């Protein structure tokens, strides 16, 4: 009987497949190795021996900078080429009284200054500024009818007239120069205060910003600007810094953005009330009515103020701020009215004794202390008028009357 041949088991089939795969892989590796050595010998005997390799591909050695090269590079940055060096060296010239004090003044297009004065009626919504821009910004001379002033040096000066006052004083400066390279500083005679005051109420931000943007565009194209990027430039404005620091582009936000423009941040700006958080603006006082011609005029006035009889203990000139819940002006006015030792000069829009320089100075000269609560801003023109009248200004940071007997003087601050 013939025996049937049995089929291979699964393990045997797997073993045969694995053996076949190993032989295939071994053949592949041998072929790959042979190809590699063939290409290597071919490259060596054919390519290298023929000398056809492009010699231009060889890398050139990097030159090492020698000491002489370093010296030459340093010489190219000679100190004479640095900005401001010529200006500093003018100090070394002892025969030059203006050494280190030269000022260069930009010749701005008249739209930035003089053209504004031609429209003096529109410089302020509340005041006709035409008479105040006369006499180089000092205003007309004051008559001494009541004997409140000294005989000379007193003018009807508006508190916002610093722009034109300083610009005209700069024209008389003894050390002006037409060579900006020797100037210690460069003055920009832009009437920034007048520019913003005419547009503060009722105008959109495009109108308020227009002149500032135009000015910066003009300045950055000048060769004088490019020397130090405007860091040697300065301008003067007769308003508080917040009028030039609009935080947003909302139409309801206050002022323009002059001091937030990137180029303007390089300049120094002299303003009535500076910002404690920014380093490029500096506080200056409001102008007063007194503009003495010589030092002796000041000494005579100081001596006169020391000898005055002052019947009032306190005085206050101002108006209430009913719309400002933080203002204490209304309370001060009411308490002053009830007091026998307080002199009050009530102010409001329109005709008022507060707009009379003689009335204001007469009141300040008749009292010992002056109350100066915050108005629209922290700084008041009245504060500087009172100091001029020899009064103790409550809130000042300086000793104005060291001769006061502190044992006989006191200031009471209430709880409410």
pLDDT in tens, 275-286: 999 999 999 999
DSSP 366: T
Query: Taking 70 as the threshold, does the pLDDT of residue 29 lie above it?
Result: no
The DSSP result for 57-82, as a single string, is GSPPPPPPPPHHHHHHHHHHT-GGGS
Q: Per DSSP, what are the bridge partners of residue 280?
A: none
The DSSP result for 95-119, as a single string, is T-TTTTT-EEE----GGGTHHHHTT
CA 229 to chain centre: 14
Residue 174's pLDDT band (boundaries 50, 70, 90)?
Answer: very high
What are the domain boundaries of the chain? 81-283, 308-408
**Cα–Cα distance between 373 and 392 in angstroms, integer?**
14
Burial classification of residue 403, based on how many CB atoms lie within 10 Å of its CB (0-12 exposed, 13-18 middle, 19 or more buried): exposed
Question: Which residue, 169, 158, 107, 167, is CA-closest to 130?
Answer: 158
For residue 251, the SS3 value is: coil
Question: Which residue, 384, 413, 272, 271, is CA-closest to 317?
Answer: 384
For residue 400, the SS3 value is: coil
Angle between helices 357-365 and 381-388 (to 10 degrees): 60
DSSP 244: G
Query: Taking 90 as the threshold, does the pLDDT of residue 194 lie above it?
Result: yes
DSSP 345: E
CA 58 to chain centre: 58
Question: Which residue, 196, 229, 234, 270, is CA-closest to 106?
Answer: 234
**Cα–Cα distance between 211 and 256 in angstroms, integer?**
10
Query: Taking 80 as the threshold, does the pLDDT of residue 157 lie above it?
Result: yes
pLDDT in tens, 56-115: 444 455 455 555 555 555 545 555 556 677 777 888 888 899 999 999 999 999 999 999
Contact (Cβ atoms closer than 8 angstroms) between residue 91 and residue 99: yes
pLDDT in tens, 296-328: 999 999 999 999 999 999 999 998 888 787 889
For residue 19, the SS3 value is: helix
First to last CA, the chain: 131
Phi-psi map region of 410: left, alpha, beta (phi>0 left; psi -120 to 50 alpha):
beta
pLDDT in tens, 334-368: 999 999 999 999 887 655 788 899 999 999 999 99
Residue 255's pLDDT band (boundaries 50, 70, 90)?
Answer: very high
The DSSP result for 196-207, as a single string, is HHTTSSS--HHH
* Contacting residues for 397 by C-beta, under 8 A, at least 6 apart: none
Contact (Cβ atoms closer than 8 angstroms) between residue 329 and residue 321: yes
pLDDT in tens, 368-384: 999 988 877 888 899 99
């Amino acid at each position: 009987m013939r025996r049937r041949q049995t089929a291979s088991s699964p393990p045997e089939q797997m073993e045969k497949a694995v053996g076949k795969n190993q032989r295939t892989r071994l053949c592949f590796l041998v072929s790959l190795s042979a190809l590699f050595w063939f290409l290597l010998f071919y490259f060596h005997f054919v390519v290298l021996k023929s000398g056809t390799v492009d010699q231009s591909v060889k890398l050139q050695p990097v030159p090492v900078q020698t000491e002489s090269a370093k010296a030459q590079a340093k010489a190219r940055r000679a100190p004479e080429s640095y900005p401001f060096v010529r200006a500093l060296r003018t100090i070394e010239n002892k025969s030059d009284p203006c050494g280190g004090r030269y000022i260069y003044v930009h010749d701005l297009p008249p739209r930035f200054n003089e053209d504004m004065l031609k429209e003096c009626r529109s410089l302020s919504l509340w005041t006709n500024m035409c008479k105040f821009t006369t006499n180089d910004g000092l205003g007309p001379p004051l008559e001494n009818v009541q004997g409140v002033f000294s005989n000379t040096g007193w003018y009807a000066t508006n508190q916002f007239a610093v722009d034109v006052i300083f610009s005209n004083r700069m024209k008389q400066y003894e050390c002006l120069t037409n060579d900006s390279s020797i100037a210690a500083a460069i003055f920009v005679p832009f009437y920034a205060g007048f520019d913003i005051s005419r547009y503060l109420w009722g105008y959109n931000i495009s109108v308020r910003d227009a002149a500032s943007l135009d000015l910066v565009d003009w300045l950055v194209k000048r060769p004088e600007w490019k020397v130090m990027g405007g860091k040697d430039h300065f301008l003067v404005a007769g308003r508080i810094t917040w009028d030039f620091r609009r935080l947003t582009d909302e139409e309801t936000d206050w002022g323009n953005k002059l001091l937030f423009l990137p180029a303007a941040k390089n300049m120094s700006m002299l303003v009535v009330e500076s910002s404690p958080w920014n380093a490029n603006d500096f506080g200056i006082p409001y102008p007063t009515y007194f503009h003495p011609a010589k030092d002796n005029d000041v000494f005579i006035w100081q001596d006169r103020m020391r000898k005055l009889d002052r019947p009032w203990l306190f005085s206050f000139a101002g108006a209430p701020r009913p719309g400002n819940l933080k203002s204490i002006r209304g309370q001060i006015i009411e308490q002053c009215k009830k007091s026998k030792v307080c002199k009050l000069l009530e102010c409001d829009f329109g005709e008022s004794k507060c707009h009379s320089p003689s009335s204001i100075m007469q009141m300040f000269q008749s009292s010992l202390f002056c109350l100066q609560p915050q108005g629209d801003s922290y700084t008041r023109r009245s504060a500087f008028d009172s100091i001029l009248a020899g009064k103790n200004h409550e809130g000042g940071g300086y000793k104005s009357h060291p001769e006061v007997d502190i044992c006989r003087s006191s200031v009471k601050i209430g709880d409410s």
